[in-house]
Amino acid sequence: MRTQCTGTTLKKSQCKLLAIEGEKYCRYHIEQGKPPPTSTKPQQELGFIYIYTYVSLHENVIAGRKQRKEISWLVTDESKIDSNDKKQALIAQDNDQFNPWKYKGDEVLIKIGMTRRKDVTTRINEWTKQCKRDIILVTPTIAHQWTKSTKKINNPKTSNLLDSLLNRIKNLTISTSTPTGTSSSTSNGAAALGGVATCFSENGFRCKNPDHVEQKIHQWLWKEYGKGNILCEACQKTHREWAKVPAGQMDYIVQTIDRVCSNSFRPDPLEKV
């Protein structure tokens, strides 16, 4: 027996026609009985990219080359560094693959990570407990300290003159208040990046699809500067996400990471770093 259609008309009233045999809707409203189509476009997740290093490495960068302290517990694992160079591969086999960390110029180790949590600090606390080492987030402000410290060591007279000039310009600039709702970590990060709008907030760089963004940054850093695999005594395994970078280029590195994270919000993000 055919029943009345349960569909809704344009006037928001129930349809008065009879439903199709065995159905609840007439031929005009049969589409209303079908489930809404599911989107085939994958949902883009939000997250943060963060940078950190060991406190001991940070203190040595700030102290300068002459006042560096030896870090006896920090060991690099050269056996896990991939290389297409057969000559370099043979050298790595002949030499001891587990070596104490040795400085080359102003080189320092940094680690890039990602998290989907609201605050990067939670993830950093987990790494501290897991690896049993004091670590520090490398914010744009810290990165600028590294760049500034390295310049002072390499050319103290030029650096002092530049600082004096920057301070004069700063005093001539009209100060503006921080917009309501902007966190202190965001404003500090923007200042270190030249006062431009950045993705830095909550101690990390906000981005879409953090897994993909993290991978792009890793590939760029390793190609540009090189890997820095670390043998972790507490975990009894090799951490492979580290990179060896010049401390004097940290401003540039942070700006590049910020740009990659900013591009992730574009409809068609740029693939090149």
What residue ranges do the domains of the chain occupy? 1-36, 46-167+184-263
Q: What are phi and psi of 208, to 5 degrees?
A: -95, 150
Assessment of whether the complete model's pTM goes beyond 0.85: no
Please name the helix (run of DSSP H) or strand (run of DSSP E) that holds residue 200, with its range, or none.
Answer: strand 200-201
Mean pLDDT on 155-165: 47
Q: What are phi and psi of 81, to 5 degrees?
A: -85, 115
Q: What is the pLDDT of residues 11-23, one digit of tens each?
A: 888 998 888 888 8
User: How many other C-beta atoms are found inside a 10 Å radius of the C-beta of residue 197?
Assistant: 10
pLDDT for the residue numbered 236: 77
- CA 111 to CA 117: how far, in whole Å? 18
Q: Which residues partner with 18 through β-bridges? A: 4
Q: How far is CA 51 from the centre of its chain?
A: 6
For the ranges 4-8, 42-46, 138-142, which has the lowest average pLDDT?
42-46
Better-scored residue on pLDDT, 90 or 223: 223
Q: Which of 126-135, 231-240, 248-257 has the highest mean pLDDT?
A: 248-257
Collapsed DSSP state (helix, strand, coil) of residue 186: helix
Q: Is the separation of the CB atoms in 51 and 30 below 8 Å?
A: no
Q: Output DSSP code: residue 4.
A: B
